[in-house]
A and B are shown apart, each in its own frame.
Chain A
Amino acid sequence: ETGVTQSPTHLIKTRGQQVTLRCSSQSGHNTVSWYQQALGQGPQFIFQYYREEENGRGNFPPRFSGLQFPNYSSELNVNALELDDSALYLCASSLGGGSTDTQYFGPGTRLTVL
């Protein structure tokens, strides 16, 4: 069974640029959630996708957007990068979007904005 994978592992961008992060969900999982983890903090929920539709969103501006594909892999796009966007971005997949469904996390993408 393949776990959650993310690419790239590290990324350096400059302020104002755009970035796309990718996530492959665990086999059989149809739900993907994205989290932002700033240094020294717990992860913050960005949004969730269930069967290719956005299924909920945290307190993040519209320049954070996403997609989920028919194979349930997902992308996180961030436009007009700001210095505060520097963080570890975590993707998690689950069998469904239910409260008791365990979310399995990938290793994350470390984004640095200069």
Chain B
Amino acid sequence: AQSVTQLGSHVSVSEGALVLLRCNYSSSVPPYLFWYVQYPNQGLQLLLKYTTGATLVKGINGFEAEFKKSETSFHLTKPSAHMSDAAEYFCAVTFRSGSARQLTFGSGTQLTVLP
């Protein structure tokens, strides 16, 4: 069975500092990996995804993530945090249920950006 672990349920950074949100996965087959962001009282918005090809994936709002198979990781980074980045971030992996491609999510990381 596939699973996702997000290390750190809460992360605080200062505005302008590096953002690093950690995600490790467990999968018996090659994974497809996603990062979603959720702002208060809203649904989830896709930041980026890795399917095949280049292991460094660039997404929206200056975020990027690198797929490292040897480390089973897909950490999310942003060089310089903005106040508007404060939100909850979810890492997800696809998992097959019958013929469905469900997303299996981690428990989320709440990012706080300090002025």
Chain A residues, CB < 8 A from B36: 105
A55 near B99 with CB under 8 A, answer yes
Q: B106 touching A97 by the CB < 8 A rule?
A: no
Q: How far is the CB of A99 from chain B (nearest CB, A)?
A: 4
User: Would you call B43 and A105 a contact (CB within 8 A)?
Assistant: yes
- Chain A residues near B108 (CB, 8 Å)? 40-42
CB distance from A13 to the nearest CB of B (A): 20
| A-contacting residues, B98-115, CB 8 Å | 98-108
Given known pairs A104-B46, A107-B42, the reply for A48 and B100 (CB within 8 Å) is yes
Known pairs A56-B97, A57-B97; A33 contacts B43 (CB<8 A) = no
Report A85-114 CB contacts with B as 1/0, cut-off 8 Å.
000001010000111111111111000000
Residues of chain B within 8 A of A50, CB atoms compared: 99-100
Q: Which of B56-115 contact A (CB under 8 A)?
A: 90, 92, 94-108
Can you list 20 A-B contacts (CB < 8 A)? A35-B103, A40-B107, A42-B105, A42-B106, A43-B103, A44-B105, A48-B97, A56-B96, A56-B98, A57-B100, A58-B102, A97-B101, A99-B94, A99-B96, A99-B101, A100-B94, A102-B49, A104-B46, A105-B45, A107-B42
| Chain A residues within CB distance 8 Å of chain B | 4, 33, 35, 40-45, 47-48, 50, 55-58, 90, 92, 97-108
